[in-house]
Structure 1
């Protein structure tokens, strides 16, 4: 087990509507089901999962970064992104779940491959 928890966002229909409307050349249109088949997994500090209130506070504090990461996954052109990326819109577009038990089965160091 490692000292991390896993946070995953699920898209709501409002976000799917934006994905389909933001780019007129998007074909075929994505569906709520298809957009949630593969999720980005965010490793977070294990401590934020101790209470639902602490988890919500962390997600709220970091919602802009999470929001931008998800938007970038769809469109790198930031002019297509919603201008107001706040907690209210985040809650309309995403639900989230967190799992506090993460087991590393590889047995090798965890490397940052994004750098």
Structure 2
């Protein structure tokens, strides 16, 4: 899925009334003024996740007092590239969509006849905040339960299978590979709650993983398989999930761009 298709969602800026409103339409309207600022996002899912986080933060800013909210939002400063955009979108949500107080908890992107559409799942303010508090109390770690180097992530390992090998060898006829060349596989860290329904997670994210795996072996996107779907993903890759990740090293973990 290409990022430029996201811009096609932003054509309808008509006023949306509160009665029986579709939050998917609200989300598109909310994202519209910022379409040109999403150029640094490579994947559609990342754009929508970012916008949904901004929407939910905007809701929280109306509920919490300023000190509480600033303490929460300060955690987002680690992503310095997008922090300013996040703050702008939060302010825009509070100013222009204050009456729409539902939180967006999930979304699904579909492409039909080359047209992109998104559906969302929402929760009202009371339900969402109750669930947040319950989740926080359930996941609070103590020294008796976990080592201090426990990382609040799950891990997905993705191993290419024979169809992937066949695709690669059709391109690199003079440098073919086999299963023995695929022992060094990629591992992706995900939100520690996503493993609860890994099938739903993969159905939403499969093309992002697909593209990352393809790019690791061949950067010419015109020679990638073009009609990728979830059924094809399952045939091309073996996926293994690890629900607990520990860092046993003393040096801190660092993140960097490829």
Shared fold (TM-score, shorter chain, > 0.5): yes
User: Which residue, out of 96, 104, 111, partners 2:239?
Assistant: 96
Q: Does 1:77 align with 2:77?
A: no
Which residue in 2 is equivalent to 1:62? 205
Which protein has greater RCO, CA pairs closer than 8 Å, 6+ apart?
Answer: 1
**SS in structure 2 of the partner of residue 83 of structure 1:** coil
More helix by share: 2
Decide whether the 8 Å contact of 2:159 with 2:186 is kept in 1. Answer: no
CA distance in 2, matches of 1:110, 1:13: 34
Tell me which stretches of 4 or more aligned residues in structure 1 moved more than 4 Å: none
Displacement of 1:24: 3.3
Kindly report the root-mean-square deviation, in angstroms, between the aligned alpha carbons of the 2 structures: 1.4
Which residue in 2 is equivalent to 1:23? 172
Please identify the structure whose Cα radius of gyration is greater: 2
Displacement of 1:108: 3.7
Note the alpha carbon deviations across 1:12-63, whole angstroms, 9 max, x for none. Answer: 11111111112334x1x1102322x10111001111123xxx1011011101
Q: Gaps spanning 5+ residues in structure 1: where?
A: none
TM-score between both structures, scaled by the size of structure 2: 0.40
**SS in structure 2 of the partner of residue 96 of structure 1:** strand
Which segment is superposed worse, 104-113 or 7-16?
104-113
Q: Does 1:111 align with 2:258?
A: no
Q: Gaps spanning 5+ residues in structure 2: where?
A: 1-149
